[in-house]
Structure 1
Amino acid sequence: MANSGVMKLVCLVLACMVVAAPHAVDALTCGQVVSNLAPCLTYLRRGGSVPVTCCIAVRSLNAAAKSTPERRAACGCLKNAYKSVSGINAAIAGGLPRKCGVNLPYRISPSIDCSKYTLSL
């Protein structure tokens, strides 16, 4: 009988995890934004050809930021990362999304006002 109670508890916990999981991954954190774009750092400093892994990260980040608040948050994270990482070439950073086939309504820069951007469908 005790084994049956444990199984019910396990099933309840699993059910809660399944229901809560989509909500837990909806929020895009600055840590995720910065770690996703780590493959781009050398390119952003030195130029050359864009690494495939960098473009995959850029497209993945763009797809992950689905709502206007998420896009604004990602923009703010990019802005803060831009300011805190030394040696980033402004022209290269501004053109990175386009080089990876991503259309953003702004150029990545340390002076961008992220509150002005909305999700365009």
Structure 2
Amino acid sequence: SITMKSLSIAFAVLVLLVVTSDSEAAISCSDVIKDLKPCVSYLVSGSGQPPSECCTGAKSLASSVSTSEDKTAACNCIKSTSKSFKINSQLAKSLPGNCGINIPISISPDADCSKIG
């Protein structure tokens, strides 16, 4: 049977995990999606320069991912989300340069997020 002591320990560990993860919270996937949403139609079927809203969002994302945890979380989010779309890999690769930013995350369903950091 579960004792009061083991319940207290489990609760203490849970609180510690929540507090620790909150203080080092990586960027949320919803924030990543919000920033890159204006880029979706361009990345799927665009040509030429990306729309200014797309570059604004990409710049916002670039400034939000400062830690290794942020970069990995953003990469994993982009990787899983981009599987839902048929993204033009050439447009995705050239997006940072076309927007005048340096972002260490590839927009690809095949990105290796373990190599980011």
Amino acid at match of 1:36: D
Deviation at 1:26, TM superposition (A): 5.3
Which amino acid is the alignment partner of residue 103 of structure 1? Answer: N
Task: Report the Cα offset of residue 93 of structure 1.
Answer: 1.2
Change (3 A) 1:75 1:25: same
Are the counterparts in 2 of residues 90 and 109 from structure 1 also a CA contact under 8 Å?
A: yes
Q: Aligned-pair distance for 1:100?
A: 1.0
How far apart in 2 are the matches of 1:70 and 1:60? 13
Q: Counterparts in 2 of 1:73-88, with a 5 A limit?
A: 73-84=73-84, 86-88=85-87
Identify unmatched segments of 5+ residues in structure 1: 1-22
Question: Which residue of 1 is the match for residue 46 of structure 2?
Answer: 47
8 Å CA contact retained: 1:95, 1:107: no
Count of matched residue pairs: 95
Tell me: CA distance 1:117–1:62, structure 2 relative to 1, closer, same or farther (3 Å): same
1:17-64 Cα distance to aligned partner (Å, 9 max, x none): xxxxxx679541111111211111111111223110100100100101
Distance (Å, rounded) in 2 between the aligned partners of 1:107 and 1:27: 18
Structure 1 residue aligned with 2:71? 71
Q: How far off its partner does 1:116 sit?
A: 1.1
After superposition, residues 1-121 of structure 1 pair within 5 angstroms as 27-48=26-47, 49-84=49-84, 86-105=85-104, 107-118=106-117
The alignment's C-alpha RMSD in Å is 2.0
Q: How far apart, CA to CA, are the structure 1 residues paired with 2:109 and 2:100?
A: 22
TM normalised by structure 2 equals 0.71
Q: Select the structure of larger CA radius of gyration.
A: 1
Taking every aligned residue pair, what percent have the same amino acid on both sides? 39
Shift of 1:87: 2.6
Please report the TM-score for the alignment, with normalisation by the length of structure 1.
Answer: 0.69
1: CA distance, partners of 2:97 / 2:64 = 17
Task: Output the amino acid matched with 2:60.
Answer: S
Tell me which moved more, 65-74 or 101-110.
101-110
